[in-house]
Amino acid sequence: MAIAWRVLLVVFVASLAWDSAAGKGPLAASGKASQPAKTVSALRARGPEGLDEALRTYDKLQAEYAVLQGEENGLHSAVLWGDGDKNPDVEAALEKAHQRVVDMERRIERTAAAIDQIGSQRSCTVSRLYWYTDLEQAKQAAARTGRPILSLRMLGKLTDEYSCANSRFFRTALYSNKVVSDFLRTNFVLHWKSVRPVPRVTIDFGDGRKLERTLTGNSAHYVLASTGQPLDVLPGLYSPQRFLIWLRTTRGLHAEYVAGSESDRPALLQRHHLSRRDALLRQWDLDIQRLGEGKVTLVSSRIYGAIEAARPAGHEVRARVPAPDARLGARQAASKSVAEVPVLRFANMGGQWMEKGMDDDLWRAIANLHRGNVKLDEASVALMRREFPLAADAGRISVSKMRQEDPVLRMVRVFEGSMTLDTVRNEYLLHRRIHEQFADGVATTADFNALNEWVYAELFLTPSSDPWLGLAPRDVYTALEGDGRAEPTTEVASRGG
């Protein structure tokens, strides 16, 4: 059957396989760099083209795997329903076919792990995205292709299972989404960098059961020009639908930026972010009003209460801000007449006062308004099944029980709900503040590292100056010796960077 496929198997799979028994990744037992390691390195050095070559071979392996499975299933049926049980040759052929399937599964698994190294992302066979880890190389690729850079800053590494929670969710909900990944692949140069290691905790239940999780940590996507100039930042987790809208918007912003003169570019960025900030405030205002007059009154009383409370502290406030012209709202819904559009009540007060009127219940209510726009695609759901096989197995077992819901789909629905809430809060609370920084022409917006430091310190509340990421505040009594802290030795610290 497919001798050519077997030849392809030898050409790439054998070269990418490593000594898994030694547990050393692509290293020979002697400890010296092996030919497989050189192959992986050579393909990574070729950039996206090297990844594409590896993926083509991976796809061919998957095709051969399907053929082998078909052969095994045919022989298995012969044994079960034919006279194969009386024919030792058929049973022997079935055993060999099964072994070929198992061997192919192992080869595919090793190849997928190698592709993760080539693309520098876990689950790279799903996303099919190539990530630079050197910003200068990414900038060169951006200048060469005329594309903007999408740079991810995160805790941990994108190649690790235990990177920070948001980056793990990015891999599942964003990078695995076919529409999103196709758009990224053809419109952006991708780069990621770890801000610091991600804190992990293990809970030992004392009976052999252990639970391991990551603590705190957040991630942000930056869009940069090839010069490294930041154009915008998307903080935290967003739905794939909203993420794609942002990618398209920033791609357009990048096109305007590179077409403009160097002297006009700062003003261009300010105008863009001022417009985005105002649009966010208007949308926030309309969302509140969609919740009903009772919620509007509640938000109003809280905002004006906060304003009155701020007066003794000497803050500059406005006692009563007149509602803006209803035509502002009309521009948000051009198909409606002015009479049909709610008069905006809060949009011109500024985000700092809007926040005073909100609480968790209101945020959840606003998120529910947008819940129908958030959905994972088939590729993301398939990845969740692969990462949580126990739930997937349970779903197959109970497939004939109509009263039982597929546990993976239930997990998907819960994840989509939490992602909707994250999208709303991150956009209105965090992204709005980023727009304000750019609109005000703050100097840090011109420097990638300075802007990232501000994002982590002011928005994520995990400044680089705090090695404990806010998990060990000095003013909280724990009744533990040394506050339960353990500092690394000088030798360990120097090794860990």
Q: Residue 472: inside a domain, yes or no?
A: no
- Domain assignment present for residue 98? The answer is yes
What's the confidence (pLDDT) of residue 479? 73
Q: What residues form DSSP beta bridges with 200?
A: 214
Domain residue limits at 197: 128-271
Please indicate, yes or no, whether residues 243 and 96 belong to a single structural domain of this protein: no
Residues 261 and 298 placed together within one structural domain of the fold: no
Instruction: Determine, yes or no, domain membership for 469.
Output: no
For position 335, what pLDDT does the model report?
Answer: 39
Q: By the 8 A CB rule, do 296 and 352 touch? A: no
Q: How far apart are CA 207 and CA 88, in angstroms?
A: 47
Same domain, residue pair 298 and 368: yes
For residue 133, the domain's CATH number is: 3.40.30.10
- What pLDDT score was predicted for residue 118? 97
| pLDDT bucket at 319, cuts 50 / 70 / 90 | very low
Query: Is residue 155 located within the same domain as residue 242?
Result: yes
Q: Give domain status of residue 494, yes or no.
A: no
Q: Is residue 486 part of a domain?
A: no
The span from the CA of 72 to the CA of 74, in Å, is 5
Residue 213 is predicted with a pLDDT of 83
Q: How many CB atoms lie within 10 A of CB 106?
A: 13
* Co-location of 89 and 161 in the same domain: no
Q: Is residue 436 part of a domain?
A: yes
> How many other C-beta atoms are found inside a 10 Å radius of the C-beta of residue 95?
12
Which of the four pLDDT bands, split at 50, 70 and 90, describes residue 36? low
* Listed residues 271, 296, 323: the one ending a domain: 271
Q: What is the band of 390 on the pLDDT scale with cuts at 50, 70, 90?
A: low
Q: What is the arithmetic mean of pLDDT over 184-200?
A: 94
- Per the listing, tokens 């958030």 go with 374
Q: How far apart are CA 118 and CA 126, in angstroms?
A: 13
Q: What is the pTM of this model?
A: 0.82
Within 10 Å of residue 229's Cβ, how many Cβ atoms? 17
Domain's final residue, options 75, 97, 119: 119
Instruction: Using the predicted structure, report yes or no on whether residue 325 has a pLDDT greater than 80.
Output: no
Listed residues 433, 449, 465: the one ending a domain: 449
Q: Name the token pair of 11.
A: 């050409």
What is the Cα gyration radius of the chain? 27
* Residue 23, pLDDT above cutoff 80: no
Asked whether residue 35 carries a pLDDT value surpassing 80, the answer given is no
Tens digit of pLDDT for each residue in 412-444? 999 999 999 999 999 999 999 999 999 999 999
Predicted confidence (pLDDT) at residue 156 exceeds the cutoff of 50: yes
Give the per-residue pLDDT at 82: 65
Same domain, 169 and 224: yes
Q: Are residues 428 and 283 in the same domain?
A: yes
Q: What DSSP line would sit under 129-156, residue for residue? A: --EES-HHHHHHHHHHHTPPEEEEEEES
Q: Where are the beta strands (DSSP E) in 24-148?
A: 131-132
pLDDT at 32 over 70: no
Residue 298 lies in a domain: yes
Mean pLDDT value of segment 386-406 = 54
Instruction: Report the alpha-carbon distance of residue 365 to residue 290 in Å, rounded.
Output: 10
Same domain, 291 and 403: yes
Give residue 206's pLDDT: 86
- The percent of residues in the chain predicted with pLDDT above 90, rounded, is 58
Q: Does 282 share its domain with 266?
A: no
Instruction: Please state which of the ranges 104-118, 149-163, 222-236, 388-402 shows the lowest mean pLDDT.
Output: 388-402
Of 133-147, 317-331, 403-417, 461-475, least confident by mean pLDDT is: 317-331
Examine the pLDDT at 400 and tell me if it is beyond 70.
Answer: no
Q: Locate tokens 């099919």: which residue?
A: 128
pLDDT tens, residue by residue, 346-374 = 888 878 888 899 999 999 999 999 999 99
pLDDT tier for residue 91 given thresholds of 50, 70 and 90: confident
Cα–Cα dist 23/487, whole Å? 29
Give whichever of 3-17, 79-93, 140-154 has the largest mean pLDDT: 140-154
Does residue 478 form part of some domain?
no
Q: Do residues 241 and 157 share a domain? A: yes
Q: Which residues contact 105 (CB under 8 A, 6 or more apart)?
A: 65
- Please, what's the b/e burial string for 233-271 (b: 16 or more CB within 10 A of its CB; e: otherwise)? bbbbbbbbebbbebbeebbebbeebeeeeeeebeebbee
Residue 38 has pLDDT above 80, yes or no: no
Residue 217, CA distances (Å) to 14, 20, 320, 399 in order: 38, 32, 39, 38
Average pLDDT of every residue of the chain: 83
Nearest to 467 by CA among 233, 87, 197: 197
The one-letter amino acid code at 362 reads L
Based on the structure, what is the number of domains in the chain? 3
CB 227 within 8 A of CB 446: no
* Whether residues 267 and 360 fall in one domain: no
Q: Is 75 in the same domain as 95?
A: yes
Triad 39, 44, 49: Cα angle to 5°: 105
The region of weakest confidence among 207-221, 227-241, 267-281, 480-494 is 480-494
**DSSP one-letter string for 244-310:** HHHHHHHHHHHHHHHHS-TTTHHHHHHHHHHHHHHHHHHHHHHHHHHT-HHHHHHHHHHHHHHHHHH
Angle at 345 between CA 427 and CA 352, to 5 degrees: 45
